[in-house]
Structure 1
C-alpha cells in the first residue's frame, strides 16, 4: 500500500488507522473470538452439530473483522484530522488503491471503506476537528 502513497495526509491516515486497531483493542478482541470459537467447536463437534452451526451462521469471525476495518478507518481519519491533515483525503486514497486491492473475505474493499468514510455521518466530526484546527492556525 505504501507504494501508492503520494502525500503526508495519506501517510497520516495509514498510521492513524493502524493506531486505530490498537486503540480499539482488535488484537485482544480477535483472541477472545478465536478462543470462543474453539470452545464452541469442542462442544458442538463431538455431538455432530458444528457443521450445522457453521452452515446456519457462516463464519462469525468474518463479520467482526469487517466491522474492525471500518472502525480502524474511522479512528484513522479522526487521528489524522487531529494531526492537522484533511480527513477528506482518506476516502480519495482508498478509492485510488481500490484497483490494486486483492480480494479478501475478511476485509472490505477500499472502495466500500471510502464510501463509508465519505458519508456525512462519518465525515462531519473529523472534518470539524480539521477545520477548527485550520481556524486556530489562521489567528
Structure 2
C-alpha cells in the first residue's frame, strides 16, 4: 500500500511540475494560473483602492514607461524561446502607490506596484529598471504560484487544489499574499532566498534586454543596503544579504552585458 501511495505521489508531483524560463529550474506547479488569477485581480484592486494612486504623476509615468519597455522585451524573449502560452497569461499593469514602505511587488499575471518609499533609492529610470526586472522575474518564474503550490501541499496534503481553494478561500488569500511578499505572517511562505537570487539573476538580464545598463544593479543594491539605518527596509526583510546578492549580480554580469550590447 505504501508503495502505491509513493508511486501516486511521485506521479502527481511530476504532473504538477513546470520549468522556469531562462534558468531551467524545475518547480512545483500544483496551482494553475487560471485558478488563482481571479483572486489576484481582486487583491490587486484592493491594494489600489486602499492607497493613493500616483501613476499619473511624473514619477508614476516613469514606473509605467520602464515597466512597459521591459515587459515588451521580456515577452519578445519568451516568444523566441517557445513560451507563447506563458506570455498569454500576462495582462501587465504598473502603478505607483503612495506609501512610506521601501517596497515593490508583482502579482501573477504581471500586476506590479511600486511604493513611493522606494523611489528615492531608485533615483532614475535605470534604478527603477533594477527593481522592475526583479519583480517581473518573480512573475515570469511563477514564484508566487510555486509558493502557493507548496503552501497548499503543506496545508491540505495532496487533496485537489481547486477543491481546497473553494472550501477555504481565507487560507488561499493568506497564502497568495504571503507568496508575493505582502503577507504579515512570513514563515515558510516568505520568498525563499533561492527565489530571490533567481529573480536577481533573471531581472539583471531582463533589464539588459530592455536596454538598461545592468552594471547599475549592484550600485542600486548598495544604496538599498544603506537606506534602512538600524533596521533593513521591507524590501530586504526576507531577502539574501546585500553583500551576497551583489556578489551574485557581479558573477552574472558578463552574461547580462551580452544582452545589453545587443539591445544598444
Q: TM-score, normalised by structure 1?
A: 0.70
Equivalent residue in structure 2 for 1:99, among 218, 221, 226: 226
* Structure 1 residue 37: Cα displacement: 2.1
Could you report, residue by residue, the CA deviation over 1:109-130 in whole angstroms, capped at 9, with x for unpaired residues? 23321111111xx112111111
Is contact 2:121–2:127 with CA below 8 Å preserved after alignment? no
Residue equivalent to 1:133 = 263
- Does residue 108 of the first structure (1) align with residue 240 of the second (2)? yes
Distance of 1:78 and 1:20 partners within structure 2 = 10
2: CA distance between counterparts of 1:125 and 1:70? 16
> 1:86 & 1:72 partners in 2: Cα distance?
17
Corresponding position of 2:215? 88
1:77 correspondence with 2:201: no
Shift of 1:70: 0.8
| Whole-Å separation in 2 of the counterparts to 1:60 and 1:13 | 26
Q: Which structure exhibits the higher relative contact order, with contacts defined as CA atoms closer than 8 Å and separated by 6 or more residues?
A: 1
Higher share in helix: 1
Q: Distance in 2 between matches of 1:33 and 1:2?
A: 33
Deviations 1:52-77 (CA, angstroms, capped at 9, x unpaired): xxxxxxx7656x61111111111111
| Residue in 2 that maps onto 1:2 | 119
What TM-score, normalized to structure 2?
A: 0.39
| Count of aligned residue pairs for this structure pair | 112
Whole-angstrom CA distance in 2 between matches of 1:84 and 1:133? 5
Distance in 1, Cα, partners of 2:259 & 2:152: 39
Q: Which runs of 5+ in 2 are unaligned?
A: 1-117, 158-186
Q: Say what the alpha-carbon RMSD is for the aligned residues.
A: 2.0
Counterparts of 2:220 and 2:135, CA distance in 1:
15
- Verify: 1:32 aligned to 2:146, yes or no: no
Q: Which has the higher strand share?
A: 2
